[in-house]
Structures are given as structure tokens and as C-alpha cells.
Amino acid sequence: MPEGHSVHRIARQFERNIVGRRVAASSPQGRFAEGAVLLDGREAIGVRAVGKQMFLAYEGELWLRVHLGMYGAWDFSGEILVDPTIASANGRMGQTNQRGTVLDEPVLDAAGENSLASIGAPRRARVHVRMSEQTTGLPEDDAEWPPPVIGQVRLRLLTDLTCADLRGPTACQVQTPDEVQATIAKLGPDPLVDDPDEGEERFVSVVRRKPTPIGLLLMDQGVVSGIGNVYRAELLFRARLNPHTPGRDVPEDVVRGIWRDWVRLLRIGVETGQMMTMDDLSPEQWRAAMARRDDRHWVYHRAGLPCRVCGTAILLEEIAARKLYWCPSCQA
């Protein structure tokens, strides 16, 4: 499931390639036909990501709200300008702000999690994305434009040069500005949207008065935005905190530490496209961790394997129908 870092990456791709342009909208699959008619031909004027949701503003006071949910993804094709802040999976700033040129080759994850062409639930990009330096102007002569529709495309957004196809979202709807405000008001703080200090105070005050286990509070988008199953498990391990501890029993300095850690990890996630949660890796370990999920987490997806710190077998349990991984010794 895409976590907050993916949605911020998508928003940056939209900022570069869709905002400021007139955008054709259609619903090849038909399930968003009425919404697409409302948006078709309008200019996109801004984009916001909050937690796991993206809001695209159009002229005429209309917004598109998209929540990818478990299976949603955006696929970009045609000419895409790669946002330099997300272009390098090495976390370095490559010279990537030329059209379609990636000079600093990222380490790509085998499962495609940090793809620049397909962002959301991991899947293979189905369409060609131009990344070569020779590219100027229009798509290749032999490339079909617009690209053929493949699979269940809920929404296709098309500019002169760029095509963005949305498949499998949990939510895709047109909202008024008031509706957008109401949606965002229900969401907990997002370190890349809210002032980090104010966000910290909001997070701490909510967590510290709840009897709910911290392992559930971190997944509650009304408490904090953008954390999913991977970041939840990793943040708790990094804090050496038992996931079943009621929020109100977690010491205040630990709650503050979790928020600050989330601020750090989210930034890394947006830059690299990976939920990189391990520190102090050698360059070799870093490359391995970027390439393989199994090499970049402390506890996530490591059920039964020895804890990287103490050797105890990592536990897997179901909590609120989601898998939770933790070390019963380090997080006693």
C-alpha cells in the first residue's frame, strides 16, 4: 500500500507536468465518467498532497481528490519532466531538471517501488517513459499518441506531452473547495504540509490522551497523516516501543521522538522513493537496501527471522486486520 512518501512524490510529478496546463480528462473504464466531464479541458492550477491523499486544483473552483488505497497507482507516460527532488534514488540531487534526462542513475528497486513512471502500488510500468537525452518536443515518431489504454483506467489526464493514467484508486472524486477543506480538516498533521513544530504538538496532545495502543494510533490518519504498515512497524522498532502500549502511557519524550523520526523518514522516503528506515549503512549496504526491500527494514516483513539487533525471532501478529512486525525483546 502506498504510504505518504509516494503521494508526495506523485504530487511533485503533477506539479512539474500537469499544473499550469490545460488537461483533457476522460474515464476509459467509465466509472469516473461524470467527474471526467466536469474536469475535461480545464487548466490545473495547483496540487496538494496530505497524508495518503492528493488534491488537484482546477480553474473554476473544482478539485480532484484521489486516495490510492491498497491497489491504486498512477502511471506516467509521454514526456515527463522529472522533479529534481525525487529524481535520484540515491538521495543525491542529480542534474535531472532537463526534459526527461536523468543523469544520476537511481538505484531501482527490483519490485519497482521507486519507479518514476509508476507511483503507487508496486507494479510494472506498462508504458514507455522517455528518459533519453535526445528527446525534444513531441513523442517519438513511432510512439502512438495518446498512448493506447491498457487495463482498467479510472481516469486519464492528458496534456500535449504527458499522460497520467490512474488505476485502482479507493477514492476518485470531484470536490468543491469547502469539501476539500472538510476532508483535510479530518486528517492528522503531515510533516511536509504542516509546520513540523505545530504538527508535533498536535500529535503529542492526541496520542497522550488516548487509551488506544500506539500501534493503532500510528495508522489512524486522523492522528497522524501518511504512516502505513511499513513505517508503523519501523517507527515503533526505532523507538524500541511495544506496539500495545496505550498512547497515554507512552512517555512524552518518546512520543515527540516518534514524530521527529517520522519527519526524518518521510523526507528520505520522498527523495529516494523507498521506505528506507535503516541508519548508518555503508555505501554497499545502502545500495543493497535501495535495491531490495528485505535489506532495508529492521522488522517489517521479517517474521521469524532474527532481530538485527538482538537475534530474537521477529513476531508477526494481526492487529486491526493488518500485519504487525515487532521484536518482543527490543520492544518489550
State which amino acid sits at residue 51.
Answer: G
**For Zn ion, which is the closer residue by CB, 135 or 329?**
329
Cell numbers representing residue 40 in the block? 475535461
In the complex with Zn ion, the residue whose CB is nearer, 287 or 308, is: 308
Looking at 21, 208, 256, 322, which residue is catalytic?
A: 322
- Residue 310: other Cβ atoms inside 10 A: 10
Asked whether the beta carbons of 57 and 81 are under 8 A apart, the reply is no
Measured from each CB, the residue nearest to Zn ion is 307
Looking only at residues 101 through 160 of this chain, which bind Zn ion when binding is defined by CB under 5 A? none
> What's the min distance (Å) between Cβ of 286 and Zn ion?
22
CA dihedral of 129, 132, 134, 140, whole degrees rounded to 10: -20
Near Zn ion in 187-246, by CB under 5 A: none
Total count of residues recorded for the chain: 332
Q: Which of 193, 214 has the CB closer to Zn ion?
A: 214
Residue 253, classified by CB atoms within 10 Å of its CB into exposed (0-12), middle (13-18) or buried (19+), is exposed
- What residue has cell string 519490485? 111
CB nearer to Zn ion: pick between 173 and 312? 312
Catalytic site residue 179? no
Cβ distance to Zn ion smaller for residue 182 or 305: 305
CB 124, CB 150: distance < 8 Å: no
Catalytic residue check, 323: no
The pairing of strands 73-78 and 118-120 is antiparallel
Helix (H, G, I), strand (E, B) or coil at 144: coil
Which of 3, 79, 113, 271 is catalytic? The answer is: 3
**To the nearest whole angstrom, how small is the minimum distance from the Cβ of residue 328 to Zn ion?**
8
**Separation of alpha carbons 46 and 57, rounded Å:** 5
- Is 330 a binding residue for Zn ion by CB under 5 A? The answer is yes
**Residue 312 C-beta: closest distance to Zn ion, Å:** 5
Q: Are 309 and 327 in contact (CB under 8 A)?
A: yes
Rg (CA), the chain: 20
- Asked if 163 and 22 touch (Cβ cutoff 8 Å), the reply is no
289-303 residues labelled b (16+ CB within 10 A) or e (exposed): bbbebeebbbbbbbe
Q: Which residues, numbered 270-329, are part of the site for Zn ion (CB under 5 A)?
A: 307, 309-310, 312, 327, 329
322 catalytic per annotation: yes
Catalytic choice (2, 122, 139, 191): 2
Name the minimum Å distance from CB 311 to Zn ion: 7
Closest contact distance (angstroms) between CB of 331 and Zn ion is: 7
Q: Is 106 a catalytic residue?
A: no
Q: Identify the active-site residue in 9, 52, 156, 238.
A: 52
Toward Zn ion, which CB reaches closer, 29 or 312? 312
Distance in Å, CB of 233 to Zn ion, minimum: 13
**Which residues are at the interface with Zn ion (CB under 5 A)?**
307, 309-310, 312, 327, 329-330
Q: Which residues are catalytic?
A: 2-3, 52, 322
